[in-house]
Amino acid sequence: MIEESTFQMYPVLIGLMGCGKSSIGRLLAEELGLTMLDLDHYIVEKAGKTIPEIFAEHGEEEFRDLETEALREVLGTPVVIASGGGVVMREQNRAMLEVHSPVIWLKSSLHFLAARIQGDENRPLTAGRDALTVLQQLAEVRYPYYTQCADYVLHRGEMNKAASLHAVLEYLKQWKYECSGGQSLQNDRSQTFILND
């Protein structure tokens, strides 16, 4: 467990469906002594409806309204936020994320993600469809937005959860160091951090 006083930061995880935002967010929150807030769960609790119900009964736009409202309510509170994959779709959300640090994009190959989410009925955008095709379409639109909002991109590749967590924590240490006036170790906002071990 990392000293709480070392970190005064409330990270937000972004990325396509299935990239591990909730599971890595949970581990990260534990390390930082924070709680993990899953934005989808927050929306579901508030609406009293599941995500598929919200999509089916009110449509995607209504879901996006709820998502924006939820983001506004929780951003900056002392939690690790695991956002929904589409949180970057609204300009207002991107504006909120751009001024918030640190925002971390968990990036995995589309094939990997498709294998993870194929057949998941809880994700209305891919339910009953070929997940890879949908993800390819989403990636085309969303990658520039993720790039715009992210302070750090974790290219997960073959990394398991523990290695991913380690990489994110290393980045956060560096981020904290830079925030406290240390010399910048990283020029490119979105460059991959190289692990020392």
List of residues contacting ligand S3P (CB under 6 A): 17, 21, 40, 51, 84-86, 123-125
| Minimum gap (Å) between residue 74 Cβ and ligand S3P | 14
CB 164 within 8 A of CB 22: no
Residue 4 or 120 with smaller CB distance to ligand S3P:
120
Question: Can you tell me the distance from the alpha carbon of 28 to that of 93, in angstroms, rounded to the nearest whole number?
Answer: 23
In the DSSP assignment, the letter for residue 78 is S
Residue 19 or 175 with smaller CB distance to ligand S3P:
19
Question: Can you tell me the distance from the alpha carbon of 97 to that of 49, in angstroms, rounded to the nearest whole number?
Answer: 26
Given phi > 0 = left and psi -120 to 50 = alpha, else beta, which region is 48? Answer: left
Residue 17 or 150 with smaller CB distance to ligand S3P:
17
| Minimum gap (Å) between residue 22 Cβ and ligand S3P | 6
Residue 11 or 85 with smaller CB distance to ligand S3P:
85
| Minimum gap (Å) between residue 102 Cβ and ligand S3P | 19
Question: Can you tell me the distance from the alpha carbon of 24 to that of 152, in angstroms, rounded to the nearest whole number?
Answer: 15
User: Which of 11, 55, 51 has the alpha carbon at shortest distance from 32?
Assistant: 11
CB 92 within 8 A of CB 19: no
**HSE of 37 in the Cβ direction (CA atoms, 13 Å)?**
19
| Minimum gap (Å) between residue 179 Cβ and ligand S3P | 28
Residue 14 or 32 with smaller CB distance to ligand S3P:
14
| Minimum gap (Å) between residue 24 Cβ and ligand S3P | 12
